[in-house]
Amino acid sequence: MKRGPKPRPATGLRTNAGPTRDHVPRFVVHPAGTSARLCEARRSGAPGSASYRPRRTIVTTSHHPGSQFAGGVMTGGVIGASPLALFRAELLSDRIPGPPTEPIDCSRNEFLHPHPILGRSGWPSLDPASICRYQPNPRLVAQLATRFDCDPAMLRVHNGAEAALKTIFAALARIENATLLLPQPGWEYHDTLAERYGLRTEFYRYLDEGDARVLDVADLERRIDRLECPAVLIVSPSNPLGARVGDDQLQALARQVSGKGYCIVDQAYFGFAGPATNDWSVGEALDGLPGTILVRTLSKYYGIPGVRVGFTAAHPSVHGQFGIDPDYLGFNIFADEFAVSCLEAHDEFERIAATVVGQRDALAAGLSRIPGFQPFRSDANFLLVRTPGPGYAPWLDQHGVRVRTFTSELADCVRITVPPEPHVRWILEASESFDPGPSGHPVPTRVEQDRPCMHS
């Protein structure tokens, strides 16, 4: 196989003739080659089928700087364009079904939908003088109290939920005989923080019950009973399982811990359980949860992980025991203004959350119909899926979708943050064509397996 010179930067896009239903340009990302080259291939049939051929394949060792898919192959109906132009090209008509034109990273739990606040003109509208003053009473506290139906005295704002967890773990490290009970499987960063602060830890389990992972309540209750000072971390919904601990279970555990320990409830993924679940009456919930502190973030539901806004809710005495007092010099005014704007636009985010729930359920239903796939019930904005082979994540990566993989207990699973509807369809289409092969690894893509590459 001859290799031609590296393509020169393009001055513009050159596309094929207008797309038709029988001839649709498609983009697919494949592993990077050692040099840039242009491959010719036919395109017909469905992705993954024996007759499927992408129209063009452009292999490049680097994409645009912001891409999570640095180094890869894009197949599509465009030639003579820079990688950045290729990723930004709008080649598919809304009237023509087909995959999205850009890859998407569903491995990180970030906001994958158009953001209502960022789409507005004229934001932010800050009083310039306010930047030169401390803000000991952020507007955010009053807005949170209204939205979550609680006394403002029960709230503390933080530089993200991470900062709140660090403060809580540091306080536990100063309590003699305290033992932190962590879920397993769970978010590995909880383990990292516990180790960083020198906490004694034990792990409680989740049980695999068909299409759901559920809390092993009996196991957790036994551990609480025998510990002198248990601090139970409940993650609800769980990351990465998506399982939610019911209100009755949570209250029973909090009452069991009360008087000798603490209950820390990490609710980063609140708001995606559907209309039957009330995540908005924090004050009412805490009345039945003695010795409990709730930890939440605006990163998931309101889509602002980069702004770093989290809050804790607890009775003032519980906040005091963890050394969480209102910040003397106040809160970041930019974060305060942005978060307030999001809370004021709650109805728009509520519609987005309803869309996410609908797409999550559609993705779960679609995958459950494909042999070898087992999606677990989820009350979060992601889906944990047991897959038929270890090559599934690389296969999706080749098709422009990156997902979260695991080791140990969840080595046969991936976590998919729910993307917009076109990507849901594309995930299902790619999943239907996934063939783990006799060795448990995916077969090569058809264009790499069957067609020689032509030098450019």
Q: Write the CATH number for 306.
A: 3.40.640.10
On whether both 157 and 179 belong to a single domain, the answer is yes
Beta-strand ranges (E) seen in 374-456 are 374-375, 382-386, 401-402, 404-405, 413-417
Per-residue pLDDT tens over the stretch 408-417 = 889 999 999 9
Within a domain: 154: yes
Which range is least confidently modeled, 94-103, 133-142, 211-220?
A: 94-103
With CA atoms as reference, report the closest residue to 185 among 212, 207, 166, 210. 207
Out of 281, 316, 344, a domain closes at 344
Residue 133 has a pLDDT of: 81
Residue 276 has a pLDDT of: 64
Question: What are 70's two structure tokens?
Answer: 């640095």
On whether both 180 and 262 belong to a single domain, the answer is yes
Out of 320, 344, 368, a domain closes at 344
C-alpha torsion angle, residues 383, 389, 390, 395 (rounded to 10): -80
Amino acid 311 reads: F
On whether both 332 and 406 belong to a single domain, the answer is no
> Is there a contact between 395 and 430 (Cβ–Cβ < 8 Å)?
yes
On whether both 239 and 140 belong to a single domain, the answer is yes
* Average pLDDT of span 218-244: 96
On whether both 210 and 195 belong to a single domain, the answer is yes
Q: Which domain holds residue 338?
A: 128-344
> Is there a contact between 371 and 396 (Cβ–Cβ < 8 Å)?
no
Within a domain: 397: yes
Number of domains in the chain: 2
Peptide bond into 240 cis (omega under 30): yes
Question: Which residue would you say has higher pLDDT here, 145 or 53?
Answer: 145
On whether both 170 and 311 belong to a single domain, the answer is yes
What DSSP element (H or E) covers 139? helix 139-147
Query: Could you tell me the pLDDT band of residue 102, with boundaries at 50, 70 and 90?
Result: confident
With CA atoms as reference, report the closest residue to 229 among 204, 263, 194. 263
Backbone angles phi, psi at 152, to 5 degrees: -55, -25
Out of 297, 316, 344, a domain closes at 344
Within a domain: 1: no
Within a domain: 455: no
On whether both 220 and 262 belong to a single domain, the answer is yes
Checking if the pLDDT of 446 tops 60, the result is no
Q: How far is residue 138's CA from residue 279's CA, in Å, rounded to a whole number?
A: 23
Output the domain CATH number for residue 415: 3.90.1150.10
Within a domain: 120: no
Instruction: Give the HSE-up count for residue 50: Cα atoms under 13 Å, Cβ half-sphere.
Output: 0
Residue 187 has a pLDDT of: 94
On whether both 27 and 137 belong to a single domain, the answer is no
On whether both 134 and 212 belong to a single domain, the answer is yes
Residue 1 has a pLDDT of: 45
On whether both 271 and 363 belong to a single domain, the answer is no
CB burial of 145-166 (b: ≥16 within 10 Å; e: otherwise) equals: beebebeeebbbbbbbbbebbb
Within a domain: 77: yes
On whether both 134 and 94 belong to a single domain, the answer is no
Per-residue pLDDT tens over the stretch 364-402 = 999 999 999 999 999 999 999 999 988 999 999 999 999
Parallel, antiparallel, or unpaired: how do β-strands 404-405 and 413-417 relate? antiparallel
On whether both 326 and 413 belong to a single domain, the answer is no
Within a domain: 4: no
Within a domain: 67: yes
Q: How far is residue 233's CA from residue 263's CA, in Å, rounded to a whole number?
A: 6
